Amino acid sequence: MHEALRRGCVALRRSSARSRRLLLFAFGGSTVAGYAPLARALPPDLDVWGVESAGRGTRLSEPPWSNVEAAVEGLLPVVRALCDGPPIAIFGHSMGAILGYEIARRLEAQGARFAPVVLSGQRPPGARPLRPPISGLPREQFLQAIRALGGAAPALFDHLELLELILPALRADTALTESWSPPTGFLVSPLIVYGGDQDPTVPVRDLDGWAAHTTAGFRMRVFAGNHFFFQGALAAFAATLASDLAVP
């Protein structure tokens, strides 16, 4: 196996058909292993891989990335290796949407195409911040702000040992999201955007701003729920995602 694959990705479900490959990018404070239930709920012809960020999971020994440029440079070798195969789709939620978008944009400049790119729970490039930055706050204030904003999976706060382990990555992920300032550009692959109708961090009114960032088709779906809307009705969400991935 390619060294980049050993270090930077997790095979969440292998498909013998391998007719399509889906790359998953995790949300802040999480590992791609958190997508395992979603991977199991998707159709069996999908070859599902998680692309792991530094500072967690299979890359726990590496310092987490606190800016997009460092993350993209660290992830590009992994994604390039995974692109050597069947047609590729991308899904990223929250911070993972930023990473998925930036990776797709860089690889499209080198001739790659994705079918499609699905970005979930993230405001479009250039949207004005809804709040002051929180990544530099003292520990307790930072965690209080993250919990109040719904910026991490609620279950994380029920496991103190896990919380302490992931805290450096969670803070770095928050800094990465807050400092994201993408250059002017757009995708040339179809783009689908998901959001929750009760998400305080990503208002529904902002989602259609993504339409300006692709020259291919654009679609938007709004689900019932907060920032982690996809976790509350996983089977239905997986069916919707599978349907969107099947549309040319």
| Nearest to 41, CA basis, from 235, 231, 229, 176 | 235
Q: What is the pLDDT of residue 92?
A: 97
pTM: 0.93
The residue ranges of every structural domain in the chain are 3-240
Q: What is the pLDDT of residue 38?
A: 95
Give the chain's residues under pLDDT 70: 1-6, 17-18, 150-154, 248
Domain 3-240 falls under CATH 3.90.45.10: no
Tens of pLDDT, residue by residue over 119-171, are 999 999 988 888 899 999 999 899 888 887 765 666 777 777 878 888 999 99
Q: In terms of C-beta density within 10 A (0-12 exposed, 13-18 middle, 19 or more buried), how is residue 105 classed?
A: buried
Q: What is the pLDDT of residue 85?
A: 75
Q: What is the pLDDT of residue 152?
A: 65
